[in-house]
Amino acid sequence: MKKVNILAAPFVQEMMKTTANLYRLGWDERNGGNISYRLDEKWVQPFLDTTNVIREIPMIFDASILAGKYFIVTGSGKYFKNVKDDPEANLGIVRVQENGKTLDLLWGLSDNAVPTSELPAHFMSHIARLSVDPDNRIIMHNHATHLLAMSFTHDLSEKALTRTLWQMCTECLVVFPEGVSIIPWLVPGTNEIGEATAAKMLETRLVLWPQHGIYGAGRDMDEVFGLIETAEKAAQVYTYVCAQGGVKQTITDDNLWLLADAFGVTPHADYLDERV
Ligand code: 2HA
Ligand code: ZN
């Protein structure tokens, strides 16, 4: 059967638009940031002959839990700025082999490119999120500016950081009631940072990498993008609040409880004072 041009695929279009948006926001300078998006086989089949493997790509960790699954990923060393003009060079569609150690490349990553250097953190995070939410599809990493800045100036306890973000914009508690997790500073691209990130992803969809950036997880592009931009907006407000001389009044814990009730969300246990 004749295949439809892959550039018309909704998931390719979403990757093109999202990387352009993220670049425009200034969170993905140079080759900063990466996205992996789990696809169903039936989404891919109208566009690609899935028996036609272009090349095999080895991995440095075991992703056998993801065997047979398809992902569209950003390429290692590739610039988000360039994705829209040349998706085939900057993106790739891969399938995890049964051995969990090799990827089948089905499209893209032309000129011998490979998937994002953060593939361990992405795949380990997919495994963690799928274990708590079978509908999770996307892991996104970027260098959201104000969140990154806050990792220098703010107390790095998860409770303290989460509370500050919840207090900076009324919608934050509703958007990420489970809070934000934080890992130690670790070398990017390693299995170690992948394991640390994935362990946190069991509890929260947002994980801060101090002095580096943010990881987000979601069921679709709007969820994960919305999650990161809401936290980033709160971090930006915090930056202005500090520049304006600091907090004089804030959203109280009682207010946050009212919000949780109104929107039917459960705040992370122990992050709020007891209701009065
Ligand atoms: O892909 O952002 O963390 C470049 C990075 C590494
Ligand atoms: Zn990064």
What is the Cα–Cα distance from 44 to 187, expressed in whole angstroms?
34
What residue's CA is closest to ligand 1, atom 3? 188
At 195, which amino acid appears?
E
**3-state DSSP helix/strand/coil % of the chain, to nearest 5:** 40, 15, 40
Q: Which atom of ligand 1 is nearest to the CA of 209?
A: 3
Q: Is 34 in the pocket of ligand 1 (CB under 6 A)?
A: yes
Together in a domain, 86 and 206 = no
195 is catalytic: no
Q: Is 204 in the pocket of ligand 1 (CB under 6 A)?
A: no
- The CA–CA distances, whole Å, from 224 to 101, 141, 180, 273 equal 27, 10, 13, 28
Q: Is 19 in the pocket of ligand 1 (CB under 6 A)?
A: no
Task: State whether residue 149 is helix, strand or coil.
Answer: helix
**118: Cβ contacts below 8 Å, ≥ 6 apart:** 34, 141, 188, 189, 194
Together in a domain, 147 and 233 = yes
Cβ pair 11, 72 in contact under 8 A: yes
Q: How many domains does the chain have?
A: 2
Which pLDDT tens digit goes with each residue over 6-43? Answer: 999 999 999 999 999 999 999 999 999 999 999 999 99
Query: Can you give the residue range of the structural domain that contains 274?
Result: 118-276
Would the pTM count as exceeding 0.95? yes
Neighbours of 258 (CB within 10 A): 13
> Does pLDDT of 276 surpass 80?
no
Together in a domain, 201 and 237 = yes
**98: Cβ contacts below 8 Å, ≥ 6 apart:** 64, 67, 68
Pick the catalytic residue from 14, 29, 98, 118.
Answer: 118
- pLDDT on residue 1: 77
pLDDT band at 271 (very low <50, low <70, confident <90, very high): very high
> Of the candidates 56, 89, 116, which is a domain's last residue?
116
Q: Is 142 in the pocket of ligand 1 (CB under 6 A)?
A: no
Together in a domain, 68 and 79 = yes
Q: Is 186 in the pocket of ligand 1 (CB under 6 A)?
A: no
> Of the candidates 116, 142, 162, which is a domain's last residue?
116
126 known member of a binding site: no
Which ligand minimizes its atom distance to the CA of 73? 1
> Of the candidates 70, 91, 116, which is a domain's last residue?
116
Task: State whether residue 55 is helix, strand or coil.
Answer: strand
Together in a domain, 205 and 79 = no
What residue's CA is closest to ligand 1, atom 4? 32
Together in a domain, 64 and 94 = yes
CA of 28 to the centre of ligand 1 (A): 9
* One-character DSSP codes across 159-181: HHHHHHHHHHSTTHHHH-TT-EE
CATH of the domain at 248: 3.40.225.10
- Pairing of β 206-209 and β 91-96: unpaired
- Mean pLDDT within 200-214: 98
Q: Which atom of ligand 1 is nearest to the CA of 74?
A: 1
- The CA–CA distances, whole Å, from 155 to 58, 82, 164, 182 equal 39, 36, 10, 11
**177 compared with 275, residue with greater pLDDT:** 177
Task: State whether residue 101 is helix, strand or coil.
Answer: coil
Helices 221-243 and 158-168, axial angle in degrees (round to 10): 90
Place of tokens 């940031």: 33
